[in-house]
Every structure is written in C-alpha cells, then in structure tokens.
Amino acid sequence: MHRTSKLIRPLLALALLAAVAVAASGCGTTSADTERGRVLFKQKCGTCHAMAQAGSTAQIGPNLDDAFAAAREVGQTDATVEGITAAQIESPRPVNANSAISMPPDIVEGQDLIDVAAYVGKYAGVPGAAPPRVPGGPGAQVFANNNCGGCHTLAEAEAGGVTGPNLDEVLPGQSMATIHEDIVDPNKVIAKGFPPNVMPATYEQELSPKELDDLVQYLIESTSGGKASKGG
C-alpha cells in the first residue's frame, strides 16, 4: 500500500476524535492566539517534539512536521490538524504499540490548549515553515527562535516575560562564561525569587556551539554595551 494511504487512515480516524476534542475544549468557539501558542509550545512541547516553525529539534516524541506532512499533501486543513492536536493532548497515545513513551495527559489545558493546538494547526507540516525573522543579528534570531522573551524581559528585543529574571537587570557585568553557564545549566545558580526547574536544561543539546556563542554575545551587547569579561 502507498505510504500516504497508510498514513491517511489513522489521520482520518484521529480527525473524528478531534471533532469531539474541539467541542470539549472550545477550540472552535474561543479566539486563539497563535503567537502565545508558539511560546507555550516551546515551553511545554518543544523539549520533546521537533517542529521547524518553533525552532525545536527534540527527538523524544514524533517530529510534528513529519507527522502532518502527508495530511497537508492531501489537503487537510489547519482546523483538522488543530483538532487532531487537541485530541492528542487531551488523550495522549503511545508513539507505537511497543513504546513506553507517552505524553502526559493535559500538558496544557483551557486557553493554553486552544492556543497551542491552533499554533500547531497553523504551522505543523507546512512546507517552508520557519521561525519568524528578527533584526539584530544571529544572536537576536537565536533569542527569538527559542522564545526567550516569553520568560525574560529584555528591552533590546522588546521582550517582557516575567517567568524568569529581568535580563536587563541581572546580566550587566556578568562574564561570557557565566552567561553561557546560566543558559546550559540553569539550575546551578537559581536567581533569588525564582523557583528551580523552570528554564529548560536542554539548550546545550538543542543549540549548536555557534548558536550559543551568538546568543551570549547578543545578551552581552544588549545589556552591557558590548562590555563583558571572558573569564568566569
């Protein structure tokens, strides 16, 4: 049987489940914010799933672009992909019959579920989908690709996140080595007033050495006028 045909049957079956999920979650009746969905996806889903538009490359769970590419090819709509995503989040199924890997149920709920499902529905499997381009050079792009502004405030990036420390306040005067360590091992030193295990500890695996260097340099230039020591 043709590969596409093999994939379409389960996708159509999931689409029926999706109709129930859409009704239950309100995805069809409540306004969705896909930009917010992208931030939530990076925080909640991008540590397991690869998706080009999110800039995520994790391989624990299915690659969502690969998972929905065949459906896109035969004309499945954003709404169908959105519904399938909502159904899978609300009632996760193992990767395969012999797999011990399964996504926790209700990893996002309510408006968060609506926004994440709409975001995946808009971009997963879409040819050429990529993170939005931003000014400011390669480090600024790494900052944007990884939704650092969803958790941190940084005036240069017009970011106002409050989940993590305000970078304009905590980074000036820090060394390149310290900033690098804070990114790749965020639980080593916890900023006062913030809980541990909030920032992902996977950036050393997800980002190339050059991307990490670009990000550190961008943070230094944005918060210290380009002045920082190279030592620890």
For tokens 């709509």, the residue is: 77
Is the pLDDT at 230 greater than 90? The verdict is no
What is the structure's pLDDT at 11? 46
Task: Report the CATH number of the 3-123 domain.
Answer: 1.10.760
Is the pLDDT at 178 greater than 90? The verdict is yes
Do 149 and 202 meet the contact criterion of CB atoms below 8 Å apart? no
Dihedral sign, Cα of residue 222, residue 224, residue 228, residue 232: negative
Please list, residue by residue across 168-197, b when 16 or more beta carbons sit within 10 angstroms of its beta carbon and e when fewer do: bebbeebebebbbbbbeebeeeeeeeeeee
What is the structure's pLDDT at 231? 55
What is the structure's pLDDT at 156? 94
Q: Among the CATH numbers 2.60.40.1120, 3.30.70.260, 1.10.760.10, 1.10.1740.10, which is that of 138-224? A: 1.10.760.10
Q: What does the chain come to in residues?
A: 232
What is the structure's pLDDT at 13? 44
**153 forms bridges with which residues in the sheet?**
160
Q: pLDDT-derived band of residue 226, with 50, 70 and 90 as boundaries?
A: low
Q: pLDDT-derived band of residue 27, with 50, 70 and 90 as boundaries?
A: very low
Is the pLDDT at 10 greater than 50? The verdict is no
What is the structure's pLDDT at 94? 65
Question: Across the chain, what does the average pLDDT equal?
Answer: 83
Do 121 and 81 meet the contact criterion of CB atoms below 8 Å apart? yes
Q: pLDDT-derived band of residue 6, with 50, 70 and 90 as boundaries?
A: very low
- Please write down the long-range contacts of 86-89, taking CB distance under 8 Å and 24 or more positions apart: 86/18, 86/21, 86/22, 86/25, 86/27, 86/113, 86/114, 86/117, 87/14, 87/17, 87/18, 87/20, 87/21, 88/14, 89/113, 89/116, 89/117
54: DSSP letter: G
Domain range summary for the chain, segments of one domain joined by +: 3-123, 138-224
What is the structure's pLDDT at 149? 85
What is the structure's pLDDT at 43? 77
Query: For residue range 38-48, what is the model confidence (pLDDT) as tens digits?
Result: 888 887 888 78
**154 forms bridges with which residues in the sheet?**
159
Is the pLDDT at 2 greater than 50? The verdict is no
Query: For residue range 89-136, what is the model confidence (pLDDT) as tens digits?
Result: 998 876 555 455 678 888 999 999 999 999 999 999 999 999 888 999
Do 196 and 145 meet the contact criterion of CB atoms below 8 Å apart? no
